[in-house]
């Protein structure tokens, strides 16, 4: 495994070892799957989209459909315009989606294909739509690619209309289970909302015995158009939802509140209070009870969380939310890492740590990799890891318990169905964390200390 990772840290600038992120098209593809009857299209080689589909399929345990411009040497030299034109025709003839969402790849970006011009030249069937975004893999990460694709839908489809009573919600790069929890929170608050994108029922649909290329889920084209007339929008995720928020403001003049993911008590409180302020609705009694049950669990088990050192890694917005939750539990965040190159992550996390007087001795870094994270842990171990499946290699090498959270989770089942957001998501995370710590205690304690009641 990773037993040979050296303890001595040497400065690196020209090489990434074991990346802590994946590429922009993965996020763009996922965002497009959250739109009703939409077929994501990768403007590049078949090998690119094969990897992107495989990663999403392994995380969601559901088929992630997408098509490709199928670049060969000719397209690489002369441009992919002809490939895109033929692809779009074939897709509408064979699969008949309502909309095709095109994202670029390293190859098409490097040769300089102008997708905007290509799309204007397409002879589209009546009522069919093609949108695009630019997502070179050598910039950003899957999180920024997700944001670019959502912004692409807004730029092409949102229409400036008279203000409605609805609000818009950009949920950020989260799982279908989070979207379901978000819908439940909105319903309990009596708020009508348009969520873009909405992968629930697309990537977590029920077993029916019949395959559907376009499951009954996703944000409709009518809803995307109506985003231009919402009275206000909430953008959840300081990075993933920033570009869609800016696009909606620029095109339709809709004001948007950019908020952290509602993970943990304080972030969920802030989200619900903002909903209440926008809608004029009081906080639902059921949500107050859920909050109380969460606090009861946190207090009951505080002695097991208290001052346990934790390393948290993954997407920036997820790590920001998990950091807040960890501090509320009484854990001590020791290492906070993301592979996405965004310095706003460092600023935001340090602000959160400062509120809890927890800055001292903590490492926070964006644009890092698993190799460096492992070296930090080798020099000063932690009691717990929280993050994606790729962290299991460090967990095994250093014999550290691990809680899986975020994207991707490839080696377990069901994670995409369960939320991390809201009070219920926080309660689940608190239970998973407590279970990992107490399992380790039971494993390591002397026989005479192995109590049945703790």
This model's pTM is above 0.85? yes
Range of the domain at 186: 167-204+211-279
Residue 249 in tokens? 């403001």
**Considering 279, 314, 338, which residue would you say is the last residue of a domain?**
279
What pLDDT shows up at residue 327? 98
Q: How many C-beta atoms lie closer than 10 Å to residue 167's C-beta?
A: 24
Q: How far apart are CA 19 and CA 338, in angstroms?
A: 9
394 and 251 assigned to the same domain: no
320 and 200 assigned to the same domain: no
175 and 235 assigned to the same domain: yes
- Tell whether 363 is covered by a domain: yes
The CATH code of the domain that includes 43 is 3.40.50.1980
147 and 232 assigned to the same domain: no
318 and 439 assigned to the same domain: yes
- Tell whether 4 is covered by a domain: no
134-155 as b/e: b if 16+ CB within 10 A: bbbbeebbbbbbbbbbbbbbbb
- Tell whether 57 is covered by a domain: yes
124 and 29 assigned to the same domain: yes
**Sign (positive or negative) of CA dihedral 209, 218, 182, 186:** negative
Q: What is the mean pLDDT of each run of 10 residues along the chain (454 residues)?
A: 82 90 97 98 93 96 94 82 94 97 94 93 95 95 98 97 94 98 97 97 90 93 97 97 97 96 98 95 96 97 95 98 98 98 96 95 96 97 98 96 97 95 97 96 90 82
The structural domain count of the chain equals: 3
Chain Cα centroid distance, residue 139 = 17
What pLDDT shows up at residue 362? 97
What pLDDT shows up at residue 453? 82
214 in Cβ contact with 221 (< 8 Å): no
- Tell whether 1 is covered by a domain: no
136 and 198 assigned to the same domain: no
- Tell whether 13 is covered by a domain: no
Q: Pairing relation of β-strands 129-133 and 309-313?
A: unpaired
35 and 96 assigned to the same domain: yes
**Sign (positive or negative) of CA dihedral 122, 127, 128, 131:** positive
- Tell whether 5 is covered by a domain: no
Q: Where are the beta strands (DSSP E) in 127-279?
A: 129-133, 167-170, 193-195, 232-236, 256-259
Residue of 344, 429, 346, 350 lying closest to 386 (CA atoms)? 429
Q: How far apart are CA 184 and CA 268, in angstroms?
A: 13
316 and 223 assigned to the same domain: no
149 and 185 assigned to the same domain: no
What pLDDT shows up at residue 1? 59
Cβ neighbours of residue 338 closer than 8 Å, sequence gap 6 or more: 20, 21, 313, 314, 315, 316, 319, 345, 365, 366, 367, 368
- Tell whether 140 is covered by a domain: yes
296 and 273 assigned to the same domain: no
**Considering 259, 279, 299, which residue would you say is the last residue of a domain?**
279
The alpha carbon torsion through 5, 6, 10, 12 (nearest 10 deg) reads -20
**Considering 230, 247, 279, which residue would you say is the last residue of a domain?**
279
234 and 322 assigned to the same domain: no
Residue of 264, 276, 274, 174 lying closest to 234 (CA atoms)? 274
What pLDDT shows up at residue 260? 97
Residue 5 in tokens? 């990772």
Q: How many C-beta atoms lie closer than 10 Å to residue 229's C-beta?
A: 18
- Tell whether 7 is covered by a domain: no
């Amino acid at each position: 495994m990773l037993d040979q990772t050296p303890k001595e840290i040497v400065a690196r600038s020209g090489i990434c070892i074991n990346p802590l992120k994946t590429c922009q098209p993965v996020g763009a593809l996922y965002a497009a799957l959250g739109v009703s009857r939409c077929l994501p299209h990768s403007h590049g080689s078949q090998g690119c989209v094969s990897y992107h589909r495989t990663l999403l399929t392994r995380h969601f345990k559901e088929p992630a459909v997408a098509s490709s411009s199928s670049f060969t040497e000719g397209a690489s030299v002369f441009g992919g315009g002809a490939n895109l034109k033929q692809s779009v025709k074939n897709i509408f003839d064979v699969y008949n989606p309502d909309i095709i969402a095109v994202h670029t790849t390293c190859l098409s970006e490097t040769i300089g294909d102008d997708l905007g011009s290509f799309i204007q030249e397409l002879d589209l069937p009546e009522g069919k739509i093609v949108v695009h975004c630019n997502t070179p893999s050598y910039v950003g990460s899957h999180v920024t690619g997700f944001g670019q694709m959502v912004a692409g839908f807004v730029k092409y489809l949102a229409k400036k209309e008279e203000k409605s009573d609805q609000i818009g919600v950009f949920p950020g790069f989260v799982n279908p289970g989070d979207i379901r929890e978000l819908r439940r929170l909105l319903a309990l608050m009596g708020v009508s909302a348009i969520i873009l994108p909405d992968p629930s029922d697309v990537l977590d649909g029920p077993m029916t015995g019949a395959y559907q290329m376009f499951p009954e889920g996703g944000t409709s084209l009518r809803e995307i158009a109506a985003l231009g007339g919402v009275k206000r929008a909430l953008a959840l995720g300081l990075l993933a939802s920033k570009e869609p928020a800016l696009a909606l403001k620029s095109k339709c003049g809709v004001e948007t509140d950019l908020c952290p993911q509602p993970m943990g008590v304080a972030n969920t409180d802030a989200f619900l209070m903002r909903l209440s302020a926008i809608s004029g609705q009081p906080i639902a009694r059921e949500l107050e009870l859920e909050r109380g049950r969460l606090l009861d669990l946190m207090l009951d088990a505080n002695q097991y969380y208290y001052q346990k050192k934790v390393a948290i890694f993954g997407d920036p917005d997820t790590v920001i939310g998990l950091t807040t939750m960890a501090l509320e539990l009484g854990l001590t965040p020791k290492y906070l890492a993301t592979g996405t190159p965004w310095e706003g992550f460092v600023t935001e996390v340090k602000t959160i740590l400062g509120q809890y007087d927890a800055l001292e001795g903590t490492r926070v870094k964006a644009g890092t990799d698993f190799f460096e994270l492992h070296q930090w842990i080798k020099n000063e171990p932690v009691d717990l890891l929280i993050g994606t499946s790729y962290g299991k290699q460090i967990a095994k090498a250093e014999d550290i318990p691990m809680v899986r959270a975020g994207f991707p989770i490839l080696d377990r089942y069901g994670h995409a169905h369960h939320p991390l957001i809201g009070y219920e998501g926080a309660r689940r995370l608190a239970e998973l964390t407590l279970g990992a710590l107490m399992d380790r205690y039971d494993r390591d304690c002397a026989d005479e200390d192995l109590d049945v009641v703790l």
